[in-house]
Amino acid sequence: MRYLLLLKSERPAGPPPAELMEAIMNLGAEAAASGALLDTAGLEPSANGARVALHGGALSVTDGPFAEAKETISYALYEVRSKEEAVEWASRFLALHRDLWPGWVGETEVLKVF
């Protein structure tokens, strides 16, 4: 089963600590070596994006930034045996942020891909 993990966060004032980036790279290498991690990348801020909507039969395009307090900042695509396994990878990723970047606030959505 494939799961898309979407990382959302308030934009912090500064760059992430080097220790966090190293830990993220190590976790990603572990996930890739196990065959679970298929793809991952960061995303530009919504200010550089657009939203296409359909309401009442009319299409509209709205340029970013969007009003949400949290930005979707990256994604990861996993091939795992269960939702619980995808949640475990997401939890490990967020635990790194908790442990290595005090005050960081964010969340990960775990969504099954059809």
Ranges of H-type helices in 1-114: 18-33, 83-100
pLDDT at 33: 98
Here the CATH number for the domain that contains residue 59 is 3.30.70.1060
Q: 22: domain range?
A: 2-113
Q: How many domains does the chain have?
A: 1
Find out whether 75 and 43 touch, Cβ atoms under 8 Å: yes
> Tens-of-pLDDT digits for all 114 residues of the chain?
999 999 999 877 688 999 999 999 999 999 999 999 999 999 998 899 999 999 999 999 999 988 877 899 999 999 999 999 999 999 999 999 999 999 899 999 999 999
